[in-house]
Amino acid sequence: MADAHTFSDRYRQGMVTRRAVLGDSHVDRASSGATAFDQPFQELITEAAWGTVWSRPGWTMRERSMVTIALLAALGHDEEVAMHVRATVNTGASREDIAEALLHVAIYAGVPAANRAIRIAKHVFEDMDAERAA
């Protein structure tokens, strides 16, 4: 991995946003697990997704979170759905927000996609509730 001082401003902003949304432990795991093979990918998503799209003005993190979950559900990206549902503790999207987003998925992307994402979200919420209770 390159030294932090060699990264672009957009990358540095992306890392701040990525950590704010996903949490330090998730980002630390992804960063520490990076190899020469996937390091370019980690840099790309940090700069493009987090430094460009998620850092834009105009939408709140809550709004971006709901749209992201809906898109990931529509595309069937289950692991990413779970990760972004978990991230709602940092984005401010409520369980009701996610339920509404997934209703849109049912109508515009299909009931099976929404059904699967709802099962994933319920499981993530159960895990989050258990962690909070512990």
The model's pLDDT over 84-106, given as tens digits with 9 standing for 90+, comes to 999 999 999 999 999 999 999 99
pLDDT digit string, tens, across residues 8-55 = 999 999 999 999 999 999 999 988 999 999 999 999 999 999 999 999
Contacts of 114 by beta carbon, 8 Å cutoff, 6+ apart: 73, 102, 103, 105, 106
CATH of 59-134, one of 3.30.465.10, 3.40.640.10, 1.20.1290.10, 3.40.50.360: 1.20.1290.10
Confidence class for position 6, pLDDT limits 50, 70, 90: confident
Q: For residue 5, what pLDDT is reported? A: 54
